[in-house]
């Protein structure tokens, strides 16, 4: 796997291109925006999404999907709600047997599908892996130490991808539980919005710690119901990602929740941003999926109510605090 194609040149796609290039791979980075391709080609910098970080010389930007797809492995780094359409566009250019690595974190709104199910529907027979874990794009791009989960049901393919992407400061840990890796990555974005609201409302560190812990219980309930393993949910792509995203305003989702907690309107916050906060779209999908499986997820339901159903933030907090006392661990 010497040649790596990266589909999506936002901050995360660019950071993953940097990690692969540092591992000695030839990287082709596909961008939808012509100005991003031009910026990388002429300035060796993604000024739109990852400014101030010089890019490795072996990274080549393109606006042609066919060029990026001419690779030994592809990283799919498009937003979760556009992943299915992206696979559909990619299909005519994808060579048989070339594995794709899902690097988006979310659940499809229209179908309630995990990302692996969406990819399998559009690219049948293609080997699929999931890359997830506690990562801020800028830190990965700068070469700061990072550990992630790379989950793949096909162990030889998974091991080859680990060797292709792993390096001195970017350490993928192999897993055979793609479901667990996806549930942790998707739900933590919703919980990060909740943690941001707690911070924005100045409710204190005790409240944030309680929310993270009880949020992890929600991840576990949904994940186990969908067939994930508990150890995956307690690993890098579950507890690790949750801890990072709920502890720093570097997180797009937590910073969005913080602004909501300060009393700002969601439309105004989104209007100022070019990057995607996946939790905004995932909240409703998670709640609907949980309801269909009979899984209780009150924190996620509260976030969904605020984002999508016009609920008052303070009333949602009050309702959560008024829930009946229960035994911990359930």
Residues with catalytic annotation?
188
Residues 217, 319: Cα–Cα separation, whole Å: 18
Residues 115, 107: Cα–Cα separation, whole Å: 6
Positive or negative torsion for Cα 207, 290, 327, 324: positive
* Neighbour tally for 217: CB within 10 Å: 15
306: burial class by Cβ within 10 Å (0-12, 13-18, 19+)?
Answer: buried
Residue 267 CB-half CA count within 13 A: 1
Give 83-109 as a DSSP string.
HHHHHHHHGGGPPTT--EEE----B-T
Where would I find the beta strands (DSSP E) of the chain? 3-7, 26-30, 59-62, 73-76, 100-102, 128-132, 146-152, 170-175
The C-alpha angle 269, 275, 276, rounded to 5 degrees, equals 80
């Amino acid at each position: 796997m010497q040649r790596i194609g990266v589909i999506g040149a936002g901050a995360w796609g660019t950071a993953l291109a940097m990690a692969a290039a540092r591992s000695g791979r030839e990287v082709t980075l596909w961008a939808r925006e012509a100005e991003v391709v031009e910026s990388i080609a002429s300035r060796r910098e993604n000024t739109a999404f990852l400014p101030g970080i010089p890019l490795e010389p072996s990274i080549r930007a393109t606006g042609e999907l066919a060029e990026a797809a001419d690779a030994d492995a592809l990283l799919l780094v498009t937003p979760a709600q556009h992943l299915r359409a992206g696979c559909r566009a990619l299909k005519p250019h994808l060579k048989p047997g070339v594995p794709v690595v899902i690097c988006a974190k979310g659940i499809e709104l229209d179908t309630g599908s995990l990302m692996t199910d969406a990819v399998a529907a559009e690219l049948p027979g293609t080997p699929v892996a999931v890359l997830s874990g506690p990562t801020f794009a800028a830190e990965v791009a700068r070469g700061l130490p990072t550990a992630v989960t790379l989950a793949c049901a096909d162990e030889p393919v998974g091991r080859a991808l680990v060797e292709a992407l792993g390096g001195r400061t970017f350490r993928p840990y192999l897993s055979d539980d793609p479901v667990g890796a996806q549930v942790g990555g998707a739900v933590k974005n919703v919980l990060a919005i909740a943690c941001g609201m707690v911070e924005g409302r100045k409710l204190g560190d005790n409240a944030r710690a309680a929310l993270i812990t009880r949020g992890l219980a929600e991840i576990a309930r949904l994940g186990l119901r969908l067939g994930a393993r508990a150890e995956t949910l307690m690993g890098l792509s579950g507890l690790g990602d949750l801890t990072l995203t709920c502890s720093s305003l570097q997180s797009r989702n937590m910073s969005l929740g913080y602004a909501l907690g300060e009393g700002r309107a969601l439309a105004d916050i989104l209007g100022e941003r070019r990057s995607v906060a996946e939790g905004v779209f995932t909240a409703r999908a998670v709640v609907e999926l949980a309801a269909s499986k009979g899984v209780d997820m009150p924190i996620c339901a509260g976030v969904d109510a605020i984002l999508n159903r016009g609920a008052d933030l303070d009333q949602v907090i009050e309702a959560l605090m008024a829930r009946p006392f229960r035994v911990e661990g359930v």
